Amino acid sequence: MKLLNTLTAIGLTMMTVAPLQAAEIKIAMNSVDDPTVSGEAAFAQGFAAALEGTDFTVEMYPSNTLGKEKERLDQVAQGLLEVNLAAASTVYSMSPLLKGVILPFYFASDAEMDATIEAGKLMDEFNKPLVESGIRLVGLNYIGTAMGIHNSKMPISTMDQMAELRFRALNPEQIKLQEAIGSSGTVIAWAEVANAIQTGVADGYFNPPSSAIRNGHTSFLKYYTPADLWPSSRAIVISEDWYQTLSDEEKTQIDAAVDAGLAANRDWVAEWSTSVTEKQVELGVTITPLAEGERDKIIAVAKPLWSETLTAEQLALWDQAKAAAQ
């Protein structure tokens, strides 16, 4: 009995003096963990830096190491993954109002989109169907400058030239745009894009320059047209179940870390936009602006897609929010 009491006392002493174990936060992303070329990494590192000195530790999982888009979103919903930098398309399958972020030519800039979402308090609307499934959208992460047109065949300066190309599409919405401008598209998973373009299944894709640069695609995507189709964003989602287990103080810390990550991402975009053209040229990419009047032609065929992408009620919410932001 004396030995048992002694062991118990030792155990209690160890519990008293041992530090609390830090809670690990896993951040999963599609991109590389390199803020020199990745807006996702800029967010993740800004988020992690803001939590230094707290009981949280942050571990980065880049380049789909925790699974593909759908798998990672499922992990968030199950509380197995705390933070995920997801494709907006993966999230808006559950929250269709979010499709507003991919309306072609609806926003003049990233800043306008940020202001619209804030003015219309749209984040709350996005989250109504998400939190029921254990997912909370906390922000949008920009992965580069606005969407442009990459291809492996020739310089593109007119809409008519698009008819000669077949593009990789991320989703059906992109296929509709590609068909509207006279081209064609096919949905191809990102992991298969390089092989698809090199074997002629597709001739290019719609993406910001950062996507081609960080993935080494500039070795075969030698032509780029800066069409400014829409802001190149990804969704930042966290586990709702995990978030609700946190104390008020911990929630405040996480909220502040999200804000710090967003600020780091916006700073990255501002700096990146001043040097990305030079990087493309250094990598042998020919940059061809749209000829005079051609962007207006593309806008004319793209604008009707807004009412096909969103319901009348959803589009009205975006229009009201956009007006409030001006």
Residue 83 sits in the same domain as residue 199: no
Q: What is the identity of the amino acid at 313? A: E
pLDDT of the residue at 262: 98
pTM above 0.85, yes or no: yes
Beta bridge partners of 233: 142
Instruction: State how far the Cα of 41 lies from the Cα of 33, in Å rounded to an integer.
Output: 5
Residue 88 sits in the same domain as residue 161: no
Residue 209 sits in the same domain as residue 289: yes
Alpha-helix residue ranges (DSSP H) falling in the chain: 2-17, 39-50, 69-77, 88-92, 110-119, 122-131, 172-180, 193-198, 209-214, 240-245, 248-282, 294-302, 306-309, 312-325
Q: Is 113 a member of any domain?
A: no
Residue 241 sits in the same domain as residue 165: no
- The total domain count for the chain is 2
∠ at Cα 272 (208, 178), nearest 5°? Answer: 10
Residue 63 sits in the same domain as residue 198: no
User: Which 8-state DSSP code applies to residue 121?
Assistant: T
Per-residue pLDDT tens over the stretch 108-137 = 999 999 999 999 999 999 999 999 999 999
Residue ranges of the chain whose pLDDT lies below 70: 1-22
CATH number of the domain encompassing residue 46: 3.40.190.170
Residue 254 sits in the same domain as residue 175: no
Residue 247 sits in the same domain as residue 170: no
Q: Is 62 a member of any domain?
A: yes
Domain that holds residue 35: 17-94+133-143+233-275
Instruction: State how far the Cα of 191 lies from the Cα of 185, in Å rounded to an integer.
Output: 17
pLDDT of the residue at 22: 60
According to the 3-state scheme, what is the secondary structure of 207-244? Answer: ECHHHHHHCCHHHCCCEEECCCCCCCEEEEEEEHHHHH
Residue 184 sits in the same domain as residue 300: yes
Q: Is 4 a member of any domain?
A: no
Instruction: State how far the Cα of 45 lies from the Cα of 261, in Å rounded to an integer.
Output: 7
pLDDT of the residue at 76: 98
Burial class of 42 by CB neighbour count within 10 A (0 to 12, 13 to 18, 19+): buried
Residue 199 sits in the same domain as residue 304: yes
Residue 165 sits in the same domain as residue 219: yes
Instruction: Dig out the tokens for 292 from the structure.
Output: 């005079």
Residues 51-82: b if buried by 16+ CB within 10 A, e if exposed: beebebebebbbebebeebeebbebbbeeebb
pLDDT of the residue at 200: 95
Q: Is 3 a member of any domain?
A: no
Instruction: State how far the Cα of 199 lies from the Cα of 36, in Å rounded to an integer.
Output: 30
Residue 262 sits in the same domain as residue 301: no
CA atoms within 13 A on the CB side of 100: 28
Q: Is 8 a member of any domain?
A: no
pLDDT of the residue at 10: 39
Q: Is 101 a member of any domain?
A: no
Residue 190 sits in the same domain as residue 305: yes
Instruction: State how far the Cα of 280 lies from the Cα of 296, in Å rounded to an integer.
Output: 25
Q: Is 289 a member of any domain?
A: yes
pLDDT of the residue at 191: 87
Q: Is 172 a member of any domain?
A: yes
